[in-house]
A = this chain, B = another copy of it.
Amino acid sequence: MRKTKTPPPVDNGADSKAAEYKAALLRENRRVTSYDVAMVAGVSQSAVSRCFKPGASVSKSTYARVMKAAAGLDYIPNAAARSLITRRSNIVAVVISHTANLYYPEALAELSAQLTRRGKRVLLFTMQHEADVEQILGDVWQYQVDGAIVAAALSEEQVQEFERRRLPLVVFNRNLRGRTVNSVLCDQYESGRLLATRLTAAGHRQFGIVAGPDTSTVATERRNGACDKLHELGLPAPVVVTGQFDYASGARGLREILDRLGRIPDAVICGNDVMALGCLDYARHELSIDVPGTMSVAGFDAVEPSNWLSYNLTTLRQPIHNMALAAADLLTSLIETDGRLAEKRTFAPQFVEGATARLRPLGDDSLAA
């Protein structure tokens, strides 16, 4: 019985009650609970609980008394206790890898903003490599989150575990082939094809490709899209090297391409913008290659720096804002409806012309779009 632990409800004025309580709480190093508020306000504990539940039926007068007592004691409901019984924590797990890729911070910022707007808090799980996701999932189960947004490649079994635990899942920016999973993504394979198409249309024939790490499905899809398209067009096989999505990889990648090819390629496609910028800077400042005069460079993502005056990179924009919006919407509706249906929302990338790739055939001086 909790009542035996708290002082008897001596009625000697509301203010002194609050003061007395504060002192007692401090002395015993206890937390302020709804029982304390109830005692000070002279109502039952359940009445206090109802006052903090929107839309519950409480009379004006008790509501006022309770709120006054609560304010006096600095009372705030305990979310852990609440979620224990309601089976809802209002916390959402966001699993994301913190690589050098500038794309992730931008996505995270958008996701956090959108989820906050919907009253969900974000429990953040970051990892160095996508392979670390397995360890992380264990923590996700523990923390009783209402759902998860995962920006990492999940195995078949991992997806099934989400289902088994009935935990709403939205996969962000990852294409899990062969699985019916809620996901929000950009068609990376198509992006790769698109870039190859635009560049070959301008007459580029010999390509270099600085792909992202093989562990990233986004990287492999972009690379495959570009390679397949080049192959279909009967162009010479591109020189493909691998980078780590960071700035330094762009320069290293170009260096390796030049070594293996023995000459400057017509165009270099990089697996993301950051590598493209590294490649571009290295070409211009270290090798004095004229871009786009002699060689074209293009990337993916349209991260902020790609748009800066020094670069104006030719790239494919991922509509991050809309993707985050879609992911937050999808997840909240899943949570609200206990929905099981799987929806895949695919966004089209937007081509950003920029000025680092020649996009018209040589000798074509027309200004036509």
Contact = CB atoms under 8 A, between A and B. Distances in A.
Contact of A78 (B122, B142, B284): B142
A366 interface: no
Contacts of A142: 76-79
Contact of A281 (B77, B81, B309): B309
A295 interface: no
A367 to B, nearest CB: 22
A11 interface: no
Interface in A282-296: 282, 284-286
A123 B122 contact: yes
A207 interface: no
Contacts of A164: 74
A109 B116 contact: no
Contact of A123 (B121, B139, B286): B121
Interface residues of A, number: 53
Nearest to A128: B113
Interface string A85-104: 00101010010001010001
A84 interface: yes
A112 interface: yes
Nearest to A283: B309
Contact of A304 (B87, B89, B108, B247): B247
Interface string A103-125: 01100110011001000011111
A83 interface: yes
A91 B93 CA distance: 13
A203 interface: no
A80 interface: yes
A126 interface: yes
A337 to B, nearest CB: 15
A225 to B, nearest CB: 27
Nearest to A132: B116
A3 interface: no
Contacts of A74: 161, 164-165
Nearest to A304: B247
A310 interface: yes
7 contacts: A80-B80, A80-B83, A81-B84, A122-B124, A123-B123, A284-B309, A286-B309
Which are the 8 A-B pairs with shortest beta-carbon distances? A105-B105, A281-B309, A98-B109, A310-B310, A122-B124, A76-B141, A112-B126, A79-B142
